[in-house]
Amino acid sequence: MTTNLATYSVVLTYSAMAVYVVAFISFALDMAKRSGEVTVGADGTAVASTVRQQQAKTVATVQGGTVVLERVEAPAKTGSGRRGSRFERVGMAMTVLALVLHVGAIVLRGIAADRVPWGNMFEFSLTGTGLIIAIFLLVQLWQNLKFLGVFITGLTLILLGIATVNYYVPVRPLVPALESYWLVLHVFVAIAGTGFFALGAGLAVSQLIQTYRLSHSGASKQLRFMETLPDADRLEVLTYRVLLVGFVLWTFTLIAGAIWAERAWGRYWGWDTKEVWTFIIWVIYAGYIHARATRGWRGARSSWLALVGFSAVMFNFAVVNVFFKGLHSYSGL
């Protein structure tokens, strides 16, 4: 029975990946469509799109006893005010469907293992990518960030692909050190923090592209789709707010990990490789928040620092967890 459930979990995982591919393609097509919504004049400045021109109407006004006909164009919709295209709606629908399959895979893996499904790298990857998608969807209730769909679904596909090919292990019992309620708290909060860091990285990339487009007149034609996204300042503010949530969660991860280490090994800190990199990530994001709040770091500099932090997260995930030996290597990698 356990083997069957684990097999069904893998089937659902691959099914979710197939649907994520459809979502990724839909979001990519939406980005291509955005390019057609904004045209660029000979001087490099954006002018009304074909759609807006078609929606323009003629208004008659009386000026000094003379009837004057004026052509009024529909206002441009940028950023969160833009109505989603058909491709965007399909992408969101496919993302929700994929998440349902994804959650099913996580639940079946947990039932098969008779524990929370994040006791090794494969399970951590499976649950982590699911939570990244869930956070992306939930954030839409606060702010329209659907333009990040191509980044989030693409990242999820890459991480799931690596997990299924390189990290998969059969269901097995936990080692004694992991048999603790701290596994539920510490690891789940770490996964949630990683989800917000991923979302913040997508926003930081968008901010850098937007800044580059505005500072290089020749880039306007190649990056026309960015005209429909929020401006660089707004993207930078959104990046900060999302990463602030991630930083709070990562702070709890660091503290909870130290408490768990004292329960399992009799010390709060032992300079284990995993502990060191968790602290390095915390320092980078703490530096990002401090530099932005007190040193006036805005714009591209803060976004680059945010991407350095996410690079450290990915290094911790893909390199430290796999190739560095230490007390955290017992998770069946």
Length of the chain: 333
Q: Contact at 8 Å (CB) between 85 and 143?
A: no
3-state secondary structure of 175: coil
At 42, the pLDDT band (50, 70, 90 cuts) reads very low
Helix (H) / strand (E) containing 69: strand 66-72
pLDDT tens digits, one per residue of 123-168: 889 999 999 999 999 999 988 999 999 999 999 999 999 989 988 8
pLDDT digits (tens, 9 = 90+) for 68-125: 455 544 444 444 455 668 899 999 999 999 999 999 999 999 999 888 888 888 888 9
Is 47's pLDDT higher than 60? no
What was the pLDDT predicted at 119?
80
Q: Is the separation of the CB atoms in 9 and 123 below 8 Å?
A: no
Contact 153, 94 (CB under 8 A): no
Round the average pLDDT of the chain to a whole number and report it.
80
Burial class (CB in 10 A: 0-12, 13-18, 19+), 83: exposed
**Residue 72 in contact with residue 1, Cβ under 8 Å?**
no
Q: How far is CA 312 from CA 156, 315, 318, in A?
A: 17, 5, 10
d(C-alpha 333, C-alpha 326), whole Å: 12
